[in-house]
């Protein structure tokens, strides 16, 4: 597989920035479907795919979400055309007969609640990262965030289900004034070892 050209790498990594201010340009339902149709191909352990995604777009859904956001995140999340609740399904193993069909025992690997939770959280976090990269590849800006009351969001959006919130990602077309100066990153020798 060939390397991506520099403009694509710039769009996905080097020039992409966390957004904090948003234009009024909407994100269409067709774009949301395209976004999921890309992110779903990212790998997860045993193809378990525990990530679940709620695309909060309507005024009513935003009103439901708003009280559970920190003061610092509320305005920017509400101004974004879409705020995605990246969640995980604690019943993800029920889908393994479809997702991992070559091993009928895969569903039984997650009987330990600790293993189940670790797998759901780790892999939904991966899937949230794929969501960000898929969004950037479609020309959308992203503003990932914590800073919300998980229990409140879970009660408001997932009561009576096996879904739990992980983190949020605001999506849309960012405005330049909402981008802070780029912070440094660790150099290779500070963050990596080759053994």
- Which CATH number is 78's domain given? 3.40.109.10
Q: Does residue 180 form part of some domain?
A: no
Domain contains 104:
yes
Residue from 24, 154, 30 nearest 78 by CA: 24
Domain that holds residue 146: 12-172
Task: Report yes or no on 194 lying in a domain.
Answer: no
Please report the pLDDT score of residue 178 as a whole number: 85
- pLDDT by residue (tens digit) across 64-82? 999 999 999 999 999 999 9
d(CA 19, CA 177): 9
| Mean pLDDT value across residues 48-53 | 98
> For residue 5, is it within any domain?
no
pLDDT of residue 185: 96
2 burial via Cβ count (<10 Å: 0-12, 13-18, 19+)? exposed
The answer to whether residue 4 is domain-embedded is: no
Of the candidates 114, 193, 131, 139, which has an alpha carbon nearest to the alpha carbon of residue 167?
Answer: 131
Q: What is the pLDDT of residue 42?
A: 98
* Residue 50 resides in a domain: yes
Q: Kindly give, in sequence order, each residue whose CB lies less than 8 Å from that of residue 53, ignoring residues fewer than 6 positions away.
A: 36, 84, 85, 86, 87, 131
Kindly state whether residue 182 falls inside one of the protein's structural domains.
no
For 91, phi and psi rounded to 5 degrees? -105, 25
SS3 of 15-55: the string is CCCECCCECCCCCCHHHHHHHHHHHCCCCCHHHCCCEEEEE
52, part of any domain: yes
What's residue 157's pLDDT?
A: 98
For the chain, how many structural domains are there in total?
A: 1
């Amino acid at each position: 597989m060939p390397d991506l050209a520099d403009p694509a790498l710039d769009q996905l990594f080097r020039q992409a920035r966390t957004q904090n201010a948003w234009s009024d340009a909407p994100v269409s339902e067709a774009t949301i479907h395209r976004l999921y149709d890309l992110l779903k191909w990212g790998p997860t352990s045993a193809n378990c795919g525990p990530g679940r995604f709620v695309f909060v777009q309507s005024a009513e859904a935003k009103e439901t979400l708003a009280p559970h956001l920190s003061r610092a995140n509320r305005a920017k999340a509400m101004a974004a055309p879409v705020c995605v609740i990246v969640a995980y399904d604690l019943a993800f193993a029920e889908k393994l007969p479809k997702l991992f069909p070559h091993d009928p025992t895969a569903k039984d690997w997650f009987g330990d609640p600790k293993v189940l939770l670790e797998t759901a959280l780790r892999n939904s976090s991966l899937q949230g990262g794929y969501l960000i990269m898929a969004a950037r590849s479609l020309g959308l800006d992203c503003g990932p965030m914590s800073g919300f009351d998980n229990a409140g969001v879970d009660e408001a959006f997932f009561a009576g289900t096996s879904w739990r919130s992980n983190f949020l990602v605001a999506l849309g077309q960012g405005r330049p004034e909402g981008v802070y100066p780029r912070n440094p990153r660790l150099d290779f020798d500070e963050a990596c070892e080759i053994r």
